[in-house]
Structure 1
Amino acid sequence: MTIEEPMTIEPMTAGVPPAGTLTPGRLRAWAWHKQGLDGSLAGRTAEQVFARAGWARSVGGANPYLTLFARAGIRREQVDADVLSHRILELPTARGCTYVLGRDDFAWALQLGKDAEEAFRILGRLGVDRSEITLLEEQVLHTLAEASAPLDPKQLKEELGDSVRSLGEEGKKKGAATTLPTALGILQAQGRIRRVPVNGRLDQQRYAYELWGLPRGPLDDDGARTELICRYLGWTGGATLKQSQWFTGFTVAQSKAALAAVGAVQVAAGVTTEVTTGGGGTLWMLPDDVERLAAFEEPAEEQIQLLAGTDSLMLLRRNAAELLAEDAPDGAAPEGDALERAAPERDNTVRQALGSLALQADLPDHPILDRGRIIGFWQYDPGKERIVSRVFRNRTPAVDRRIAEVQAWIREDLGDFRAYSLDSPASRQQRIDGLAASAGAN
C-alpha cells in the first residue's frame, strides 16, 4: 500500500490542549481511557465493550476473552453464551481479518472484508473458472440446508465429493489446497453462512459452518468506510493516517474521503500545540475528542492491567514502542510512586533489552500496563498453573494483586492462555523460562 502525505485541513484551534501538555504520558493515559481500561466499562455487556473499545482480534487465541474480562469483568461462560445467541460473533472484516464484534456491526463490518473477486484471484491463476466456484457455493448452501447440524470442512468435503477440486502441490504452495476454502470464505463474507466454534470456545479455532442469511445493512461501501473511520478514531482517541490505513486497509483516496466525511481534524503543529507519536506523525482526531482531551485529567493512582499482545490498545495502532516508559517521569504518577522511582542506569538497561520487542509488529510476550504504559511482560505456564512475569521496575502491591486476579481467572475459565491457534505450552516454553529467569531482577 502506498502511503501519501495526509490531506490538508484547516488547523483546529478551539478546545486544543495548551502547548506542552500533550506529553507521551498524557497521550498514553488518554488512549487507556478511550479503551475503557480505566474501569469506565465495568458492568457493561460484551456488545457495549466492543462498540466502545473496538473489535477483538481473535486468531484462535484468548485475546477476546481477556479483552472483555479486563474491561468489564465478563467471564468466559457469559462470552460463550453471547456467541451462541449471536449477540457477538467472529467475522471477517477490515483487511479480511477476523475480529469478534457486536451484532449491531455485523452487516456493515462484513462489507469491509475481502470481496468475492479478490478471494478468487489466486484460484484464477491456478486455472479455476469463476463459474466453478459459483456452482460450488450453491452446492455448499444446499448441503448445509439439508444438514441437521453445522458441518466442519472435512464433513463438507465428504458430502460434496468431486465438486471440491484438489489444486495439487501448486495450490498448496499458494495456500489453496482445494477450492472449498475460497467458496466458504466468499459465502461467509456475504453473510450467507457463518462459522460456529465446534466446542463453543473462541480460543480453539476449530469451526463448523451453518446457514445464516444475514440481511444486508443500509450502508453502501463508502458509508461502511466512513463508519469504520469514525469508530476507529473513537476507539483510539486519535491516530496517524498511516496507522489508520494499516488497520482499515483503505487506499489513500478512501482514507481521505472517510476522514473528511466524519469531520476529522489535525491538531496541527505551529497552531497551539503539536500532537505527535513516536514516529513523528500528526494525529487525526474527532472534533469532540479534541475538546475532551483538553479537559482530560490523567489518573493519579495506579491502574494495572494484564492484556494480550493483540489487545486493541496496541493492535489498532501497532504502536507498542510508544507505550514503553521514557527515561524520565512524565508527571503521570504521583510523587513517590514506586513505578517512577528507578535508577536511570536501570531504565537504560530496560529500554535496551526490551525496546526491540516493542518495535516488533506483534509483541512476543503479553504486556503488563499501568495507565497505558508497558511496565512488564507475562506468560501463562499451564504446567505450573501460574503467570510468569517480569516487571521492569519495582513491583507494587497493585501489580501483584492484578497478576493474582488474572492468574485465577485463567485457571478457572480458560485452563491456558494461548496467543493464537498454534500457540502451545511447548512453543512458548523458552519465553516462559526467560521471563522466570529474569524475574529476579524485579
Structure 2
Amino acid sequence: MDNGTRRAWSWHKQGLDGSLAGTSAAELLTKTGWARSIGGANPYLTLFSRAGIRRKQIDSDVAALKIHELPTARGCTYVLGADDFAWGLSLGQGAAEATVKVLDKLGVERREIKDLEDRTLALLQEAAANGTGPLDPKELREKLGAAVRSLGEEGKKKGASTTLPTVLGLLQADGRIRRVPVNGRLDMQRYAYTAWGLPAPQQSPEQARAKLMERYLRWTGGATLKQTQWFTAFTVAQTKAALAAVDAVESTVVDPDGLWMLPADAEAAATFAAPAEEQIQLLAGSDALFLLRRNSADHVAEEDRGLAVGREKLALTADLPDHPIVDRGRIIGLWQYDPGNERIAHWLFHEPTDAVQGRIQEVENWIREDLGDFRSFSLDSPASRQKRIDALNAASR
C-alpha cells in the first residue's frame, strides 16, 4: 500500500467512512474500539462521527447500562458496550491491585483494606436497597468515619491521600460497585458510587487477553508488536500467546515493515482501494484512530510534515496538540471549540473545499446544541485552551 491507501485502510477499519451509520452505540464500540474517557467529550464525538448518535441517546444508553465507563486495559477508563463489561473489567484488575502495593509501603496492612472494602460495600448495598441512590466520595467518607485513614503528606506525594480511593478501585475492578456520573454525562468528571454485583467473566485471564488481542487487531487493521504491547500492557510472553490464540499473521500487505493482522484483514487489505471522494470528519485528539497505536504522525501527509503550531512539528508529536480535521485518514487541519464565540477555531493546511466547510459547520452546530463545549479532558476549560484557540486563529489568517 502507498501511504494514502494505508491511512484510508485505518479509516475504514474505524468505521469513519460512513459504513456504520445506524449502528447502536454498544455495537459501534465493539466494532471499532472502546472510546477513551478522561472526563472529556471524546466518547460523544466517537459515536457522533461514526454513526450520527446524539448525546441524548448516548446518555440514555449510559443510564440503561447498555454502555458504561469502566477501567480496563492498562487500568485506563474507556466506554464499553454491555457484552464487554465483565471480561473487559477483568483486564484492569492488575492496575487496581498495584495501588494496594502503594498503601503497603505507607504502612497500611491488607486486613485494614479488606475491612474498609467490606464496610464500603455494605454501605452502598444498604443505600441501593433503601433507594437512597449513589453516594459520592464525600458522603462515603462521612459515613465511614474513622474506617477511612488519612495518609498525610507522604501519601499525597504517592497519590494516595486516604485509603478510600484504593478501596473504591478494588471494588470497581471486580464489578462489586460501579461509578456513576452525577449528572448522567460522560464529559463531566464528577462521580458517585452504587452497588452493582456484575457476574464474573466467563473467560479465563488467558482467554480475556486473546479476546482483547482479536478486538485490537480488528479495530486497527494491523499493528506492530510494540503498539499492541502499549495498548494492552501485556508482557512479551502474554502478547505472543494472545497473537497465537487468534491465529494472527505478520503481514507486509499494509506496511512493508510488517504488521500483526487477523488473517481475514490481511486478505481484505490486499484488494482494498482508498475512496475517491472526500470523507471529512472532525475528531478528538484521543480518538481511537490515533490513540490505539499512538501514531498520529503517520496520518500526516509527507508534504505537511514540516507544519507546526508552536515549536513542535506535527510529524514529531506522539499526541496531537489540538483536535484533528481528517479526510480518509489524512490529517488536513486542527481545531478547538471556542465557547465564548460559540464557534470552532480551526487551521486548515490547504484551501478548504465545500465538504470541509460543511462538516465544520455541522460539528459546530452539534457541539452548540448537544454539549455546550468540547472538553479534551477533565481539567480542560475555555481559559486553559485560549492560547491554543489564539494560535489556531493566527495560523488560519
What's the secondary structure of 1:289's corresponding residue? helix
What's the secondary structure of 1:78's corresponding residue? helix
Equivalent residue, structure 1, for 2:109: 129
Equivalent residue, structure 2, for 1:308: 284
Counterpart selection for 2:90 from 111, 117, 127 = 111
- Structure 2 distance, partners of 1:184, 1:102, is 22
Contact 1:375/1:391 (CA < 8 Å) preserved in 2?
A: yes
Q: How does 1:47-126 map to 2 (within 5 A)?
A: 47-115=26-94, 117-126=97-106
Contact 2:177/2:195 (CA < 8 Å) preserved in 1?
A: yes
Counterpart selection for 1:297 from 273, 280, 284 = 273
State how many pairs are aligned: 392
Deviation at 1:23, TM superposition (A): 1.0
TM-score in terms of structure 1 length: 0.87
Equivalent residue, structure 1, for 2:259: 283
- Structure 1 distance, partners of 2:218, 2:312, is 28
Give ranges in structure 1 of 5+ residues lacking alignment.
Answer: 1-21, 328-346
Amino acid corresponding to residue 326 of structure 2 in structure 1: L
* Cα distance, 1:350–1:117 mapped onto 2, change above 3 Å: closer
What's the secondary structure of 1:350's corresponding residue? coil
Rg larger for: 1
Equivalent residue, structure 2, for 1:18: none
What's the secondary structure of 1:191's corresponding residue? coil
Deviation at 1:145, TM superposition (A): 1.6
Contact 2:300/2:314 (CA < 8 Å) preserved in 1?
A: no
What's the secondary structure of 1:210's corresponding residue? strand
Deviations 1:281-318 (CA, angstroms, capped at 9, x unpaired): 52100000011111212100000000000000000000
Equivalent residue, structure 2, for 1:194: 178
Deviations 1:22-69 (CA, angstroms, capped at 9, x unpaired): 111111100000000000011110011101110000000000000000
Give ranges in structure 2 of 5+ residues lacking alignment.
Answer: none
Contact 1:111/1:189 (CA < 8 Å) preserved in 2?
A: yes
Deviation at 1:217, TM superposition (A): 1.6
Contact 1:59/1:98 (CA < 8 Å) preserved in 2?
A: yes
Which range is displaced more, 44-53 or 109-118? 109-118
Equivalent residue, structure 2, for 1:369: 326
* Cα distance, 1:351–1:283 mapped onto 2, change above 3 Å: farther
Equivalent residue, structure 2, for 1:17: none
Q: How does 1:24-423 map to 2 (within 5 A)?
A: 24-115=3-94, 117-147=97-127, 148-268=132-252, 275-276=255-256, 281-327=257-303, 347=304, 350=307, 356-423=313-380
Amino acid corresponding to residue 356 of structure 1 in structure 2: K
* Cα distance, 1:267–1:351 mapped onto 2, change above 3 Å: farther
* Cα distance, 1:92–1:154 mapped onto 2, change above 3 Å: same
* Cα distance, 1:310–1:53 mapped onto 2, change above 3 Å: same
Contact 1:365/1:377 (CA < 8 Å) preserved in 2?
A: yes
Deviation at 1:361, TM superposition (A): 3.3
What's the secondary structure of 2:93's corresponding residue? coil
* Cα distance, 1:354–1:235 mapped onto 2, change above 3 Å: farther
Contact 2:34/2:78 (CA < 8 Å) preserved in 1?
A: yes
Contact 2:305/2:315 (CA < 8 Å) preserved in 1?
A: no
* Cα distance, 1:97–1:274 mapped onto 2, change above 3 Å: closer
* Cα distance, 1:84–1:358 mapped onto 2, change above 3 Å: farther
Contact 1:309/1:367 (CA < 8 Å) preserved in 2?
A: yes
- Structure 2 distance, partners of 1:166, 1:173, is 13
Deviation at 1:159, TM superposition (A): 0.4
TM-score in terms of structure 2 length: 0.96
- Structure 2 distance, partners of 1:249, 1:289, is 23
